[in-house]
């Protein structure tokens, strides 16, 4: 493979005294993966991880004159910053009985299996199946699933038969949307329950300026058909339509994602996915090829940004951000971590590992990998171990903090092991690694390839934290209970994942996977309860909402304060959803609750629950009025500055007013927009 060289150029720009007071932004979220060229993403959530599958733009021929997509690459994350490389999980020539290439996949988890749909160029659509999200995927059919001879596909004018977008509705019916090259060249066909057969004829759809990348998702009962537009109005964009039905009645609503930076006004392809309570759009641009001085047309890389809905169900136009996503959890350095779980890299490749999974390979002097947000704790690390192999004289792993040339806390010497897959574990001492840091593993040595790197782990002399005494210890014959999380203040008006409780009373509860690919709590019995401490209700909550599933008709969730028999704030009388995997949002009104409270969810019977949140009567919002004086002026700039510097945090309506871009957070972006508004550079906020 072509060796990859990535360089990061940091340009310091002085903008204003106000912005200088704020935290500095980092490098862009794109590319999120750079050791292979990737495009046309699709995604599925499984067991708390987000898996993204991509067309693999081969780099075997630099500056090639057409697309070369022999296989499909899979990457995954649980924190949105560090991505695990699972390799090429499907290769058409190897894993299909009929296809030669695999373009623009679509992934669905159903029937305890993963179904990966793909295009054989523009000449037919196939399906590959696996029991695991990371493969191996195999096509069970000796032919394409959809061809030009499939009923309903014709007549079409020069239709491209590719870009499948598979969607499973709440009633269990699966649909495949596909087509390209013309606004009337969209088809949708029902899939059988086995997910490898079609039912009936394909139906026609139409969308303004439709070009390719058909995709469907559902939110709050509405159907969203999103697609890549043609070039009739300049660069291709991701646009969308809405309907109350999955195949008819769509109305055009506008642009979801404009032409992203570094995409050279070229094509795009996207997917929309919900992960841990938020919505994201994954797409591609051509940053990596640009950085490497290659022709960027046919070698692309994946990107991700958060997506937000308006109150009327329409979608706020996504703005590609610079380091716009928050890291959802810190990396625990005291467990084994795969070396192929990376935030950024320079120079490395990956390959299949004889001990399972993949390893970092083709390492040369000066190469490095970055792991973002590693929490060493207050006691810190005292030693480091790495699983390595070398068919040469080896080299060194320098462990540095916060940059490739940052603080050196240890150096692990790697000697030859007699083979590139002959593995051994090397150790070294560590000094000065405490708190949260980005960790850079910088590789040094002689010329040529140095060694391969499979996993790493830090160790500490600190005593392990004992389990909470308030959590019952299950006997070997009972299922393990989920573990409580540390007590932190949480807003009642945020989406609270039910498994993030602080205490529990049950002998049967388990953490479970939920239908959307997330996680929740199940096996709940009468009298069981969950405790959420230090929940901030502010000036008052008036209603409660939860995502639940049950077959029962008499199950209640009591909301009590202070204890399992404390003040009853309200009761959600859970209606049957028709199944323990059929999740619905259900809500109830409650007596007004204010201030900080310990919340108890007390259950009267069997129900599965994914998340919950509280709401309140809406007040008057004046966008930009951060100090609540009814005006938008320079005093509001001061109020937001003091909030960001944690001098005087904003509360309630003032906090909502300060969120001038409507993304649910108050940060430096809001401050910058407010400054521009007051200076007259913009005449409205993007909300």
The catalytic residues are: 57, 212
447, two tokens: 């010329």
Classify burial at 212, counting beta carbons within 10 Å of its beta carbon; exposed 0-12, middle 13-18, buried 19 or more. Answer: buried
Distance CA 657, CA 643 (A): 13
Q: How far is CA 532 from CA 357, 473, 481, 502, in A?
A: 38, 20, 16, 5
Please name which of 455, 347, 268 lies closest in space to residue 34, comparing C-alpha atoms: 347
Report the first-to-last Cα separation within the chain, whole angstroms.
Answer: 46
Query: How far out from the chain centre does Cα 250 lie?
Result: 28
Distance CA 481, CA 523 (A): 10
Query: How far out from the chain centre does Cα 145 lie?
Result: 29
Return the beta strands (E) in 169-246 as ranges.
174-179, 186-191, 198-205, 210-219, 222-229, 238-243
Query: How far out from the chain centre does Cα 610 lie?
Result: 18
Please name which of 553, 492, 495, 503 lies closest in space to residue 528, comparing C-alpha atoms: 503
| DSSP per-residue string spanning 39-52 | EEEEEEEETTEEEE
Distance CA 381, CA 389 (A): 24
Beta pairing class for 301-307 and 419-429: unpaired
Distance CA 206, CA 235 (A): 20
Name the CA dihedral angle for 82, 83, 84, 87, rounded to a multiple of 10 degrees: -160
């Amino acid at each position: 493979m072509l060796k990859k060289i990535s360089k990061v150029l940091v340009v310091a720009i002085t903008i204003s005294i106000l912005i200088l007071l704020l935290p500095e932004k980092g490098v862009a979220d794109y590319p999120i993966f750079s050791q292979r060229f990737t495009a046309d993403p699709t995604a599925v959530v499984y067991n708390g991880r987000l898996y993204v599958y991509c067309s693999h733009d081969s780099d075997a021929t630099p500056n090639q004159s057409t697309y070369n997509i022999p296989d499909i690459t899979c990457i995954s994350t649980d924190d949105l910053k560090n991505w695990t490389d699972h390799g090429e999980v499907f290769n058409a020539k190897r894993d299909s009985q009929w296809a030669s290439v695999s373009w623009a996949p679509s992934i669905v988890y159903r029937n305890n299996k993963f179904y990966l749909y793909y295009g054989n160029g523009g000449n037919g659509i196939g399906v590959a199946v696996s029991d695991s999200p990371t493969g191996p995927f195999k096509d069970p059919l000796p032919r394409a699933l959809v061809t030009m001879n499939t009923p309903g596909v014709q007549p079409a004018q020069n239709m491209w038969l590719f870009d499948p977008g598979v969607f499973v509705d709440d009633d269990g019916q699966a649909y495949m949307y596909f087509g390209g090259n013309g606004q009337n060249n969209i088809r949708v066909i029902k899939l059988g329950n086995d997910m490898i057969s079609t039912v009936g004829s394909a139906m026609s759809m139409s969308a303004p300026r439709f070009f390719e990348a058909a995709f469907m998702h559902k939110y709050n009962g509405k159907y969203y058909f999103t697609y890549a537009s043609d070039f009739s109005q300049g660069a291709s964009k991701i646009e969308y339509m809405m309907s109350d039905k999955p195949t008819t009645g769509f109305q055009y609503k506008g642009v979801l994602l404009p032409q992203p930076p570094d995409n050279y006004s070229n094509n795009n392809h996207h997917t929309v996915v919900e992960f841990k309570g938020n919505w994201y759009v994954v797409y591609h641009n051509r940053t990596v090829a640009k950085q490497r001085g290659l022709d960027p047309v046919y070698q692309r890389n994946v990107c991700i940004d958060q997506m937000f809905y308006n109150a009327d169900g329409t979608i706020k136009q996504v703005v590609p951000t610079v380091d716009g996503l928050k890291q959802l959890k810190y990396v625990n350095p005291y467990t084994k971590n795969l070396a192929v779980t990376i935030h950024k890299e320079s120079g490395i490749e990956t390959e299949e590992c004889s001990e399972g999974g993949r390893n970092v390979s083709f390492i040369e002097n000066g190469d490095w990998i970055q792991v973002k947000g590693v929490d060493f704790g207050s006691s810190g690390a005292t030693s480091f171990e790495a699983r390595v192999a070398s068919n040469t004289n080896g080299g060194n792993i320098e462990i540095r903090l916060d940059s490739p040339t940052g603080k050196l806390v240890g150096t692990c010497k790697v000697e030859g092991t007699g083979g590139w897959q002959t593995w051994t574990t090397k150790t070294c001492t560590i000094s000065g690694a405490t708190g949260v840091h980005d960790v850079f593993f910088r590789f040094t040595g002689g010329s040529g390839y140095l060694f391969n790197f499979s996993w790493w782990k830090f160790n500490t002399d600190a005593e392990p934290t004992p389990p909470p005494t308030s959590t019952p210890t299950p006997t070997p014959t009972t299922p393990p209970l989920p573990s409580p999380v540390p007590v932190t203040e949480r807003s009642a008006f945020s989406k609270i994942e039910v498994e993030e409780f602080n205490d529990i009373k049950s002998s049967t509860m388990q953490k479970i996977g939920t239908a959307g690919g997330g996680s929740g709590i199940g096996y709940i019995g009468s009298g069981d309860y969950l405790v959420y401490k230090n929940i901030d209700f502010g000036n008052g909550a008036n209603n409660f909402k939860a995502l639940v599933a049950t077959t029962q008709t008499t199950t209640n969730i009591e909301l009590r304060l202070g204890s399992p028999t404390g003040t009853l704030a309200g009761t959600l009388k859970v209606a049957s959803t028709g199944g323990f995997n059929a999740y619905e949002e259900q809500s109830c009104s409650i007596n007004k609750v204010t201030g900080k409270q310990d919340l108890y969810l007390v259950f009267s019977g069997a129900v599965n629950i994914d998340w919950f949140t509280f709401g309140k009567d809406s007040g008057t919002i004046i966008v930009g009025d951060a100090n609540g004086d009814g005006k938008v002026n320079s005093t509001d700039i001061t109020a937001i500055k003091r909030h960001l510097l944690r001098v005087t945090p904003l509360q309630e309506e003032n906090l909502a007013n300060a969120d001038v871009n409507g993304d649910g957070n108050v940060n430096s972006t809001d401050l910058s927009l407010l400054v521009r508004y007051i200076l007259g550079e913009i005449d409205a906020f993007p909300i």
